[in-house]
Structure 1
C-alpha cells in the first residue's frame, strides 16, 4: 500500500512516475519533493520520534523490501 504522501507520484502500477526505468534513477532528483528526501522527511516528521541512525536503518529495510517486490525495477 502506498503512503498518502507518495500516492500522487505513483504512475498507476506502484512505480514512481519520475523513475527512469533504463537507469533506475530519479529524473527529478535535484528538485525532488521533500517526501522523496530522506533527510528532509526526518527533520520535518520523524525527528521527535526516533534518532537519525534508526530512521536510516528503517529506510534501508524498506528499500530492501521494495527491491524484493520489484527486482526488475530497483536494480541498484
Structure 2
C-alpha cells in the first residue's frame, strides 16, 4: 500500500493561508501556532488535529478517490507549497 512520507520541510505549517485549514491554528502570521520554526516540527504532533494527519483525513475523501489517488494528491499539493 502506498503511504505518505513527510520530509518535515514545514511548508504546510508555514503557509496556512495557502491551505484550507482551521483558522484557529493560525498564529496571526500565517504560520501554525504549534509549529517550531527552529526544528520544522509540530510541538503537538501526537495530539495534532485530524486536518494535519494525512491518514485520518482520508475518510473525508474516500467517496471521491482511492487511497492511492489521495496520497498522490497530497504529494502534488506538498510539491506546490514548496514552490510558493
TM-score under structure 2 normalisation?
Answer: 0.70
Give unmatched runs, 5+ long, in structure 2. Answer: 1-16
Q: Which has the higher contact order (CA 8 A, sep 6+)?
A: 2
In structure 1, distance between residues paired with 2:81 and 2:27: 16
Q: Pairwise CA RMSD of aligned residues?
A: 1.4
Q: Which runs of 4+ in 1 moved over 3 A?
A: none
Task: State whether structure 2 residue 58 is matched by structure 1 residue 60.
Answer: no
Give unmatched runs, 5+ long, in structure 1. Answer: 70-76
TM-score under structure 1 normalisation?
Answer: 0.77
